[in-house]
């Protein structure tokens, strides 16, 4: 294969490399630890009951027995669960494919977590018009601690991050394809009207037809919201971002009524969203509708005249169930050792310890060996990305920088909605849902340092060295923290060297 061929395939080679790196970090020793890690006690067991009963049954007895293969604690009584179905259905898929084992619970999440790194690499490649910067973004997702831990445990937030990342990538592809359509259409209209290439274009600009990629994004965001409700915040913000992209494109192409044209394009997308999202969401509850044992499945029949009585009993029961879920979420204030204030999530102030056990039989070269899993993002990634976010928001406010808005909007969509709920029992690892956008914002800043505007695409020697050193340091830190992300038995004193801040202990 010659250099010309390699250059032609550079995008595919970059994505493949990112995917392989991410898969190695997520799939290696995935069955360890052979125990329920943190909230796997809810989601892995709930997924298993879906495979056995068709709905989530209540469990009794010792929680730890499940990891040994003892499922005798499963009862036929429907369990009150407080999150939608999609994440648990995906965990159940892994159990069906690979058996009721730690690998089975975690396999689908690990695969989708690997694909997320690829999706972000491809999205970054389009945003920054650079395979190199796309590769940097993908590698940073691949080696981030939160991304690794949430891909390797059967929790819901990793699935949420995947569908949000998928939706964003689809929107970026839609943006680029729509831009090509608009440019082609604008050129044709100017030719037909006998206008110069740079002359204002009368009217709203060209029509773009059915935008299948944006419809795909709406579907992806609907699935995100069907994993956890906060997925719908991403849908609202990022779909509005796609409208902003349209407005900028029409204005730059010289359409005199660009605002009207943008609204005309946004209306069908908005209509599609209000139809597709509820249909997909309710559809993901199919197993709840089709089984009699599901929690509150027949509430309406046993409470005539209550609830939304004009709806069919099944939907009335589902709405009542969701009202209970909402009360649970907004009222959850039970103290927890690792609950954290969302104002401090960006700097990973209080990461969640998912697992910590002494391993007396391990040969780690010390008198005391431990296995630990901390949902801690790579500190350098998050600290540098927090600074980059401040810079990006300044650029948006002062300069109207659309690219800065494009990379940072997902952070705001995933982070700001949590701030009013700082009183609740919530955890730093929820930030994995907007982790890809933190990394995109960091790469945006790195690109501006290495390739400042004044050089018009050229490279600053000092800036390039600084960015190269930052990326190298990030990779070194990831290598240092890997044992705490995958649960490798290590000396207790070595674990202590990772506790950089008192709040991490």
Among 295, 310, 343, which residue terminates a domain?
A: 295
Residue 60 lies in a domain: no
SS3 content of the chain, % helix, strand, coil (to 5): 65, 5, 30
Q: pLDDT tens string for the chain (505 positions)?
A: 566 777 678 889 999 999 999 999 999 999 999 999 999 999 999 999 999 999 999 999 899 899 999 999 999 999 999 999 999 999 999 999 999 999 999 999 999 999 999 999 999 999 999 999 999 999 999 999 999 999 999 999 999 999 999 999 999 999 999 999 999 988 988 888 888 888 888 888 888 889 999 999 999 999 999 999 999 999 999 999 999 999 999 999 998 999 999 999 999 999 999 999 999 999 999 999 999 999 999 999 999 999 999 999 999 999 999 999 999 999 989 999 999 999 999 999 999 999 999 999 888 889 899 999 999 999 999 999 999 999 999 999 999 999 999 999 999 999 999 999 999 999 999 999 999 999 999 999 999 999 999 998 899 999 999 999 999 999 999 999 999 999 999 999 999 999 999 999 8
Residue 389 lies in a domain: no
* Alpha carbons 382 and 345: distance in angstroms, whole number: 9
Q: Which of 238, 221, 241 is nearest to 229 (CA)?
A: 221
What confidence score (pLDDT) does residue 361 get?
87
Element (H, E) at 358: strand 352-358
Domain count, the chain: 2
Query: How many H-runs (helices) and E-runs (strands) does the chain carry?
Result: 19, 5
Question: Do 259 and 325 belong together in one domain?
Answer: no
Residue 438 lies in a domain: no
Of the CA atoms within 13 Å of residue 414, those in its CB half-sphere come to: 28
3-state secondary structure 405-423: HHHHHHHHHHHHHHHHHCC
Domain encompassing residue 316:
296-331
Question: Do 237 and 284 belong together in one domain?
Answer: yes
Residue 70 lies in a domain: no
Residue 390 lies in a domain: no
Question: Do 215 and 164 belong together in one domain?
Answer: yes
Question: Do 164 and 248 belong together in one domain?
Answer: yes
Question: Do 291 and 301 belong together in one domain?
Answer: no
Query: C-alpha distances in angstroms, 114 versus 163, 165, 308?
Result: 13, 12, 43
Angle at 39 between CA 37 and CA 40, to 5 degrees: 60
CA 354 to chain centre: 19
What number of other Cβ atoms are within 10 A of residue 407's Cβ? 28
Question: Do 274 and 235 belong together in one domain?
Answer: yes
Question: Do 260 and 193 belong together in one domain?
Answer: yes
Q: pTM for the full model?
A: 0.96
Question: Do 269 and 324 belong together in one domain?
Answer: no
Question: Do 219 and 269 belong together in one domain?
Answer: yes
What number of other Cβ atoms are within 10 A of residue 248's Cβ? 17
Tokens of 460: 């600053």
Q: Which of 287, 288, 273 is nearest to 232 (CA)?
A: 273
Among 287, 316, 331, which residue terminates a domain?
A: 331
Question: Do 317 and 201 belong together in one domain?
Answer: no
| Angle, helix 212-225 to helix 231-252, in steps of 10 degrees | 160
What confidence score (pLDDT) does residue 365 get?
87
Among 276, 306, 331, which residue terminates a domain?
A: 331
* Alpha carbons 386 and 96: distance in angstroms, whole number: 40
Residue whose pair of structure tokens reads 């309406």 in the numeric block: 300
Question: Do 283 and 218 belong together in one domain?
Answer: yes
Alpha-helix residue ranges (DSSP H) falling in 332-401? 379-399
Tell me the DSSP string of 111-161.
Answer: HHHHHHHHHHHHHHHHHHT-HHHHHHHHHHHHH-HHHHHHHSSS-SHHHHH
Residue 132 lies in a domain: no
Residue 300 lies in a domain: yes
Residue 36 lies in a domain: no
Residues with Cβ within 8 Å of 54's Cβ and at least 6 positions away in sequence, in order, are 287, 290, 291, 293
Tell me the DSSP string of 17-48.
Answer: HHHHHHHHHHHTTTT-SSS--TTHHHHHHHHH
Dihedral sign for Cα atoms in the order 238, 324, 77, 74: positive
| Angle, helix 231-252 to helix 402-415, in steps of 10 degrees | 170
Q: How many residues does the chain have?
A: 505
Question: Do 239 and 301 belong together in one domain?
Answer: no
Long-range CB contacts for residues 83-86, cutoff 8 Å, separation at least 24: 83/156, 83/227, 83/228, 83/229, 83/325, 84/225, 84/226, 84/227, 84/228, 84/229, 84/281, 84/284, 84/285, 85/226, 85/284, 85/285, 85/287, 85/288, 86/159, 86/163, 86/223, 86/226, 86/227, 86/284
């Amino acid at each position: 294969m010659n250099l010309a061929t390699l250059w032609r395939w550079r995008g595919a080679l970059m994505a493949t490399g990112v995917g392989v790196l991410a898969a190695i970090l997520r799939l290696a020793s995935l069955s360890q630890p052979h125990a329920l890690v943190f909230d796997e006690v809810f989601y892995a067991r709930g997924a298993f009951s879906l495979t056995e009963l068709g709905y989530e049954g209540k469990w009794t007895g010792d929680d730890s027995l499940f990891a040994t293969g003892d499922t005798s604690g499963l009862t036929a009584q429907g369990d009150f669960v407080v999150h939608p179905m999609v994440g648990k259905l995906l965990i159940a898929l892994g159990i069906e494919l690979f058996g009721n084992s730690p690998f089975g619970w975690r396999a689908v999440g690990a695969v989708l977590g690997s694909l997320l790194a690829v999706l972000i690499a491809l999205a970054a490649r389009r945003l920054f018009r650079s395979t190199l910067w796309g590769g940097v973004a993908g590698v940073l997702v691949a080696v981030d601690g939160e991304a690794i831990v949430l891909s390797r445990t059967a929790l819901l937030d990793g699935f949420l991050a995947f569908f949000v990342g998928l939706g964003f990538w689809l929107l970026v592809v839609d943006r680029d394809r729509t831009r090509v359509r608009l440019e082609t259409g604008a050129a044709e209209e100017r030719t037909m009207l006998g206008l110069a290439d740079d002359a204002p274009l009368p009217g709203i600009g060209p029509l773009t037809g059915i935008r299948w990629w944006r419809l795909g994004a709406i579907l992806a965001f609907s699935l995100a919201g069907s994993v956890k409700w906060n997925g719908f915040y991403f849908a609202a913000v990022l779909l509005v971002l796609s409208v902003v992209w349209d407005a900028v494109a029409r204005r730059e192409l010289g359409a005199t009524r660009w605002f009207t044209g943008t609204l005309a394009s946004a209306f069908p997308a908005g209509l599609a969203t209000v139809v597709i999202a509820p249909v997909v969401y309710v559809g993901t509850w199919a197993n709840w509708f089709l089984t009699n044992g599901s929690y509150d499945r027949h509430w309406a029949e046993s409470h005539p005249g209550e609830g939304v009585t004009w709806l069919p009993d099944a939907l009335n029961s589902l709405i009542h169930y969701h009202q209970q879920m909402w009360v649970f979420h907004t009222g959850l204030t039970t103290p927890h050792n690792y609950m954290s204030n969302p104002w401090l999530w960006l700097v990973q102030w209080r990461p969640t310890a998912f697992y910590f056990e002494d391993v007396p039989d391990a040969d780690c070269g010390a008198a005391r060996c431990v296995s630990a899993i901390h949902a801690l993002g790579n500190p350098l990634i998050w600290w540098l990305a927090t600074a980059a976010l401040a810079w990006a928001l300044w650029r948006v406010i002062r300069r109207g920088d659309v690219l800065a808005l494009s990379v940072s909007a997902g952070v705001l969509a995933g982070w700001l909605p949590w701030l009013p709920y700082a009183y609740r029992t919530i955890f730093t690892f929820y930030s994995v849902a907007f982790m890809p956008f933190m990394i995109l914002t960091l790469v945006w800043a790195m690109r501006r340092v290495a390739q400042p505007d004044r050089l018009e695409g050229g490279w600053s020697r000092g800036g390039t060295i600084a960015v190269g050193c930052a990326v190298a340091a990030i990779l070194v830190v990831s290598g240092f923290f890997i044992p705490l992300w995958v649960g490798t038995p290590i000396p207790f004193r070595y674990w202590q060297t990772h506790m950089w801040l008192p709040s991490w202990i």
